[in-house]
């Protein structure tokens, strides 16, 4: 009988108890961590949060940084953002964002921003208390904490230097293959004439390590260097410079003549003789047809 009463109590519990009331922080594109660069210190980053709350919580929703997250901010921690409980609707909410500046990371509580050559990992914590047990309000004193967090990494370490594996000459263009370091997310290619003029930069993902640089001048030598950029926008030192000179691409006939061939000789003469034979054959067939008809 006791088991039956417990089962009936669970089946008839308020909707707030039976529905999901999870708090969830998330990053764009299903990323697992948010990397922030060393500068500018007032650079703003955003994190999305959602809460499937079905009733007014017991207290405000708070956000803070820590090395590990608990139910509430530890003593002395700065709360970087608060959503008053009166502003949390009684129905599920999505698409909200919390923002922070790089300078708000705990790293800079006692130090100036930016910090050079350093990588520090924190968690952006979020927590809100809700009625505990089968209660629908906070009067019972029982509370549950809905919590979530995401990893935030302060990264001022530049990636390793890439290398240029090959520079191939094309018609008014160069083909450049770059070997990207593992910690890079993008590659930049810097192209400049040997006399230092006409500088330009080409930027693309590490998924594309072969660059095609167009609109160059044939016969002009260009110097090419590459840099790697990581997820926090730190840029490496430049690679060792390589050079390339675009060349005019000639067709088969141009190359044939350059190799010593003549326009009316070789294959051209053979083609002319073959064409002449066909003309004579057709003329003979026509004359034979006229004699037969007469």
CATH number of the domain bearing residue 176: 2.60.40.10
Q: Which helix (H) or strand (E) holds 178?
A: strand 173-179
Mean confidence (pLDDT) of the chain: 81
Query: Is pLDDT larger for residue 239 or for residue 54?
Result: 239
pTM of the model: 0.65
pLDDT confidence band for 52 (50 / 70 / 90):
confident
| pLDDT score for 106 | 94
Residue 243 has pLDDT above 60, yes or no: yes
pLDDT confidence band for 10 (50 / 70 / 90):
very low
Q: Is 112 within 8 Å of 37 (Cβ atoms)?
A: no
The span from the CA of 51 to the CA of 86, in Å, is 14
Q: Would you give the distance in Å from CA 130 to the centre of its chain?
A: 37
Q: Say yes or no: 218 and 84 in one domain.
A: no
Q: Say yes or no: 128 and 45 in one domain.
A: yes
Paired sense of beta strands 33-36 and 23-26, if any? unpaired
Burial category of 20 from C-beta neighbours within 10 Å (exposed 0-12, middle 13-18, buried 19 and up): exposed
Domain end point (choices 123, 155, 187): 155
Tokens 């192209």 -> residue:
191
Q: Say yes or no: 103 and 210 in one domain.
A: no
| pLDDT score for 56 | 75
Residue 263 has pLDDT above 60, yes or no: no
Between the CA of residue 101 and those of 72, 132, 154, 178, what are the distances in Å?
21, 34, 11, 34
Radius of gyration of the chain (CA): 36
Domain end point (choices 155, 178, 206): 155
Q: Say yes or no: 137 and 196 in one domain.
A: no
Quick check: bond before 137 cis, omega within 30?
Answer: no
Per-residue pLDDT averaged across 18-35, rounded? 79
Q: Say yes or no: 40 and 87 in one domain.
A: yes
Q: Is there a domain that residue 26 lies in?
A: yes
| pLDDT score for 205 | 94
Q: Say yes or no: 122 and 102 in one domain.
A: yes
pLDDT confidence band for 51 (50 / 70 / 90):
confident
Reading the block at residue 244, the tokens are 């390339």
| pLDDT score for 5 | 35
Q: Is there a domain that residue 169 lies in?
A: yes
Q: Say yes or no: 151 and 111 in one domain.
A: yes
Query: Is pLDDT larger for residue 255 or for residue 279?
Result: 255
Q: Is there a domain that residue 69 lies in?
A: yes
Q: Is there a domain that residue 293 lies in?
A: no
Residue 291 has pLDDT above 60, yes or no: no
Q: Is there a domain that residue 190 lies in?
A: yes
- Beta-bridge partner residues of 152: 34, 122
Residue 191 has pLDDT above 80, yes or no: yes
Each residue of 91-131: pLDDT tens digit?
A: 678 889 999 999 999 999 888 999 988 999 999 999 999 88
Cα of first residue to Cα of last residue in the chain, in angstroms, is: 123
Each residue of 144-169: pLDDT tens digit?
A: 899 999 999 999 999 999 999 999 99
The span from the CA of 52 to the CA of 50, in Å, is 7
The span from the CA of 24 to the CA of 178, in Å, is 40
The span from the CA of 283 to the CA of 291, in Å, is 13
Q: Is there a domain that residue 252 lies in?
A: no
- Contacts of 112-117 with C-beta under 8 Å, sequence gap 24+, read 113/38, 113/39, 113/41, 114/38, 114/39, 114/41, 114/156, 115/38, 115/154, 115/156, 116/38, 116/156, 117/156, 117/157
For 130-171, the DSSP string reads: EE-TT-SSSTT--EEEEEEEEEEEEE-PPPPPPEEEEEEEET
Reading the block at residue 205, the tokens are 């993902």
Q: Say yes or no: 137 and 198 in one domain.
A: no
| pLDDT score for 137 | 77
Per-residue pLDDT averaged across 220-242, rounded? 95
Q: Give the lowest-confidence range in 92-106, 126-140, 184-198, 256-270.
A: 256-270
pLDDT confidence band for 87 (50 / 70 / 90):
confident
pLDDT confidence band for 141 (50 / 70 / 90):
confident
Per-residue pLDDT averaged across 34-50, rounded? 93
Domain hosting 168: range is 163-244
| pLDDT score for 250 | 66
| pLDDT score for 287 | 47
How many structural domains compose the chain? 2
Tokens 């964002």 -> residue:
97
């Amino acid at each position: 009988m006791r088991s039956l009463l417990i089962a009936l109590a669970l089946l008839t519990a308020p909707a707030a108890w039976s529905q999901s009331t999870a708090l969830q922080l998330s990053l764009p594109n299903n990323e697992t961590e948010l990397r922030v660069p060393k500068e500018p210190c007032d650079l703003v980053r955003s994190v999305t949060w959602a809460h499937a709350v079905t009733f007014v919580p017991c207290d405000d929703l708070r956000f803070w940084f820590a090395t590990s997250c608990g139910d509430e901010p530890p003593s002395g921690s700065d709360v970087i953002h608060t959503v008053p409980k009166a502003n949390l609707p009684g129905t599920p909410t999505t698409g909200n964002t919390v923002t922070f500046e790089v300078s708000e990371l705990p790293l800079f509580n006692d130090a100036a921003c930016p910090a050079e050559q350093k990588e520090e990992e924190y968690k952006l914590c979020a927590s809100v208390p809700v009625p505990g047990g089968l209660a629908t309000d906070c009067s019972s004193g029982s509370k549950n904490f809905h919590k979530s967090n995401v990893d935030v990494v302060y990264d001022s370490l530049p990636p390793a230097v890439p290398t240029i594996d090959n520079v191939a000459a094309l018609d008014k263009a160069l083909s450049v293959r770059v070997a990207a370091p593992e910690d890079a997310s993008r590659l930049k290619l810097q192209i400049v004439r040997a006399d230092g003029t006409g500088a330009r930069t080409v930027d693309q993902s590490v998924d594309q390590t072969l660059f095609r640089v167009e609109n160059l001048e044939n016969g002009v030598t260009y110097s090419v260097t590459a840099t790697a950029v990581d997820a926090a926008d730190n840029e490496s030192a430049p690679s060792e410079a390589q050079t390339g000179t675009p060349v005019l691409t000639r067709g088969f006939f141009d190359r044939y003549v350059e190799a010593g061939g003549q326009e009316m000789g070789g294959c051209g003469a053979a083609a002319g003789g073959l064409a002449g034979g066909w003309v004579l054959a057709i003329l003979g067939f026509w004359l034979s047809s006229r004699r037969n008809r007469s």
